């Protein structure tokens, strides 16, 4: 039988590991969302530039 302090220490370590993995997963999700947001803005701005160039050439 393990000493109670050792088993509680392992449980605490497992909890810390779980928390760190959870935080890492959340960080990746947030970074993906931010990246998608900036890509949408970038696409929108480049489309506007393309449209303005086309209208200048058409006139």
**Residue 47 in tokens:** 């489309």
Exposure of 15 in the CB half-sphere (CA atoms within 13 A):
6
**Residue 4 in tokens:** 């109670």
**Residue 58 in tokens:** 């058409």
Distance CA 45, CA 50 (A): 9
Whether this model's pTM surpasses 0.75: no
* pLDDT tens-digit map of 17-44: 999 999 999 999 999 999 999 999 889 8
Q: Is the pLDDT of residue 3 over 60?
A: no
pLDDT over 90 for what percent of the chain? 42
Cα 25 to Cα 6, 16, 19, 39: the distances in Å are 29, 14, 10, 21
| Mean pLDDT over the full length of the chain | 81
pLDDT band at 11 (very low <50, low <70, confident <90, very high): confident
């Amino acid at each position: 039988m393990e000493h109670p302090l050792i088993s509680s220490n392992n449980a605490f370590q497992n909890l810390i590991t779980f928390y760190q993995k959870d935080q890492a997963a959340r960080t990746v999700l947030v970074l993906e969302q931010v990246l998608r947001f900036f890509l949408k803005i970038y696409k929108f701005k480049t489309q506007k530039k393309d449209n303005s160039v086309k209208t200048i050439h058409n006139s």
